[in-house]
């Protein structure tokens, strides 16, 4: 499906750099018409120019944390020609939770949770009615890092929580639409060689596109893995994961946790009844 030149239009959010710009490039090479969404008009124009001729490219300058902008993008996503939605836009809001700006944390929730949920809701009914389409949600390996301390990882309570939401939302939604031709995927990159870590997300990174000092996997590899996994109908794509069965083991662990939880209070939570109590 990702290689179908008659597939229609793909909407890519956060398309002005990094993983989003790479989705645009690879989808254009596969013949997709594109709607590219991001906050930075100059960066969007540069990405569109690099795509060359042969596909139709529309740019939409929008901040998905802004309600009016989100409505505009939602209306475009809901149109009949959209066969692929890539929810890539995200901001990190890194910082110790108790010291973080509450407004910034609300923006992280808006961009990372509310926007992709609303956009997927706008896209899916039309895809289901046409019998074709896909939604790709870009999460992070930090979705699985809840038990780890913030050093050497970033302070990330809200960001990791939003990515955990994206993983659970996508997996559950995939089960919901499993009987339809529509595909749903969540891709969970690890450290990626983009400019994502150069700012917290309160303001866009300005100037030419850069890569943070820590390096990481090239964004081209992340997107290559995602589109390959989409064709293989993998719901959870972890681009650097060598042991694909790890996702199966995660599912088995979740099942065991649910099945071992009964309607009787676990012994460790019962009041002590020994002598002297």
User: What pLDDT digit, counting tens, does each position of 227-275 carry?
Assistant: 999 999 999 999 999 999 999 999 999 999 999 999 999 999 999 876 5
Give pLDDT, residue 196.
75
Give pLDDT, residue 200.
59
159 belongs to the catalytic site: yes
- CA 216 – CA 219 distance, rounded (Å): 9
Give pLDDT, residue 214.
74
| Residues 6+ away with beta carbon under 8 Å from 65 | 107, 110, 111, 115
**pLDDT higher than threshold 60 for residue 2:** no
- Which pLDDT band holds residue 195 (cuts at 50, 70, 90)? confident
Instruction: At 47, list the tokens.
Output: 């990405």
**In percent, how much of the chain has pLDDT > 70?**
90
3-state helix, strand and coil shares in percent for the chain, rounded to the nearest 5? 45, 15, 45
Give the least confident one: 53-62, 93-102, 153-162, 212-221.
Answer: 212-221
Give pLDDT, residue 54.
86
Per-residue pLDDT of 127-156, as tens digits, reads 999 999 999 999 999 999 999 999 989 999
Q: What is the mean pLDDT of residues 50-73?
A: 95
Domain boundaries, the chain: 9-269
Instruction: At 26, list the tokens.
Output: 């690879």
Give pLDDT, residue 145.
94
**pLDDT higher than threshold 60 for residue 3:** no
**pLDDT higher than threshold 80 for residue 212:** no
Mean pLDDT over the full length of the chain: 92
Active-site hit among 23, 94, 159, 165:
159
| 217 three-class SS | strand
Instruction: At 201, list the tokens.
Output: 């997300």
Distances (CA, A) of 265 to 18, 46, 94, 257, 260: 49, 60, 38, 15, 12
| Residues 6+ away with beta carbon under 8 Å from 109 | 158, 162
Give pLDDT, residue 5.
44
Against a cut of 0.85, is the pTM above it? Answer: yes
Give pLDDT, residue 117.
98
For CA atoms 24, 25, 29, 30, give the dihedral sign.
Answer: negative
Contacts from 139-146 at CB under 8 Å and sequence distance 24+?
Answer: 139/163, 139/164, 139/166, 139/167, 139/170, 139/186, 139/187, 139/188, 140/188, 140/189, 140/190, 141/188, 141/189, 141/190, 141/238, 143/167, 143/188, 144/188
- CA 8 – CA 47 distance, rounded (Å): 20
Which CATH architecture fits 9-269? 3-Layer(aba) Sandwich (3.40)
């Amino acid at each position: 499906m990702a290689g179908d030149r008659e597939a229609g239009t793909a909407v890519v959010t956060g398309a002005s750099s990094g993983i989003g710009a790479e989705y645009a490039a690879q989808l254009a090479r596969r013949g997709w018409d594109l709607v590219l969404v991001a906050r930075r008009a100059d960066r969007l124009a540069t990405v569109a120019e690099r795509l060359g001729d042969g596909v139709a490219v529309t740019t939409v300058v929008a901040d998905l944390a802004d309600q009016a902008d989100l409505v505009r993008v939602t209306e475009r996503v809901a149109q009949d020609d959209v066969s692929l939605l890539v929810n890539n836009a995200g901001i990190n809001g890194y910082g110790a939770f108790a010291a973080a700006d509450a407004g910034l944390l609300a923006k992280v929730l808006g961009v990372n949770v509310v926007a992709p949920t609303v956009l997927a809701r706008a896209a899916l009914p039309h895809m289901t009615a046409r019998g074709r389409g896909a939604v790709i949600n870009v999460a992070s390996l930090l979705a699985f890092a809840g038990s780890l301390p913030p050093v050497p990882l970033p302070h990330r309570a809200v960001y990791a929580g939003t990515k955990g939401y994206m993983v659970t939302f996508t997996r559950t939604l995939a089960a919901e639409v499993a009987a339809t031709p529509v595909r749903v995927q969540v891709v969970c990159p690890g450290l990626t060689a983009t400019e994502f870590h150069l700012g917290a997300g309160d303001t866009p990174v300005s100037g030419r596109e850069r890569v943070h000092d820590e390096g990481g996997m090239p964004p081209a590899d992340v997107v290559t893995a995602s589109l390959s996994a989409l064709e293989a109908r993998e719901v959870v794509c972890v681009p650097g994961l060598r042991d694909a069965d790890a996702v199966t083991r995660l599912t088995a662990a979740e099942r065991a946790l649910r099945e071992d939880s009964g309607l009787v209070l676990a012994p460790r939570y019962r009041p002590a009844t020994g002598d002297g109590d």
